[in-house]
Amino acid sequence: MGSVGYRKSSPDAPDDFFAAEAAGLRWLAAGGAPTVEVRAVGPRCIELELLVSAPPSAATAHAFGQALATVHDSGVSGEFGCPPEDFTGRCYIGNRPMSSVQHARWGEFYVTERVLPFVRTAVDLGHVDPDSLVDIERACAVIAEGTFDDREPPSRIHGDLWNGNVMWVAERGAVLIDPAAHGGHRETDLAMLALFGCPQLDEIIAGYRETHPLRPGWQDRVPVHQLHPLAVHAAGHGPGYGRALHAAALATLRLA
C-alpha cells in the first residue's frame, strides 16, 4: 500500500496553475532542493506526499542552508526570469500570475517583471499612496540602471521562500512547498526567508555560506530583494504592506 497523499484542488484554477507548481517542485528537486514529492497533477488539482511537521533544529537548519545553496548553484538554462525547464505555461506566485519574460540583466528583470507589475495593482487598489509611489519608482529606477547587478549568472530559486513555504519534517529536515520557481538572484530567496521570520535563520545562513560564500554587503541589500514579495503582498493584502514596501524602497535609495 502506498503512503498517504495530500490533494489540493480548485474547480476555478487556471489551466496552468497546478502544472506550474508541479514543474517548479520537480525543477528545484532536480537541482538538489528538498521538496515535497509530486504524486500526480491535473488541470484542477495536484496530489502531493503528506508531510507531518516537526520542530526544526540547528542541525537541520544548517543542512537546509547547504541544500539551498546547492540548488541555487545548479543554475538555469535561460536568463533572468526563465521558468522551470521544459515548462511553457503561465507561472504564478501564490494565486497571482507571474511573468516569464527573460532579461539578460538582473536589475532590469527584477523591476520590470517582479516589482512594478504588482506595485501597479497595489496602487489601483489604494494600497500604495501617490507620495509613496514616487519613492518606490525612484528605487526601481536605481535598480533597473544596474546599481545592484553583479557578474553572477541566474540562480535556480524557489521564488516565494517565506517561512510558510518551508516545512520542517522529522528525519528529513526542511522540505520546500508552493514554489514560484524561476531564474533569479540567490539573495532574493534569502531575503524572503528573513521577511516574516524563519526559525533558525542564522543556522540556515551559516550552512549556506559554507557551501556558497555570499558577496560582501548582502545583509544591506535585503530590502532591495524584499521589494518583490512586499509588492506582491501590497497588491493582495492591504496598505500595511504598502507602507512596508515604501520603507524598503527608502532603504534601497539610501544604499544607492
**C-alpha span between 70 and 238 (Å, rounded):** 35
pLDDT at 4: 61
Looking at the predicted structure, is the pLDDT value of residue 1 above 50? no
Taking the CA atoms of 179, 80, 156 and 78 in sequence, report the sign of the dihedral they define: positive
Q: What is this structure's pTM?
A: 0.95
Question: Is-contact 18 44, C-beta < 8 A?
Answer: yes
Report CA 79 to chain centroid distance, whole Å.
16
**C-alpha span between 35 and 29 (Å, rounded):** 6
Q: Mean of the pLDDT values across residues 58-62?
A: 96
Domain ranges of the chain: 53-255
> Across all residues in the chain, what is the average pLDDT?
95
pLDDT in tens, 158-202: 999 999 999 999 989 999 999 999 999 999 999 999 999 999 999
Rounded to the nearest 10°, the torsion over CA 72, 77, 78, 79 is 30
Domain 53-255 has CATH 3.40.605.10: no
Q: What confidence tier does 5 reach under pLDDT thresholds 50, 70, 90?
A: confident
pLDDT at 3: 63
pLDDT in tens, 13-50: 988 999 999 999 999 999 999 999 999 999 899 999 99
**C-alpha span between 229 and 96 (Å, rounded):** 12
pLDDT in tens, 98-131: 999 999 999 999 999 999 999 999 999 999 999 9
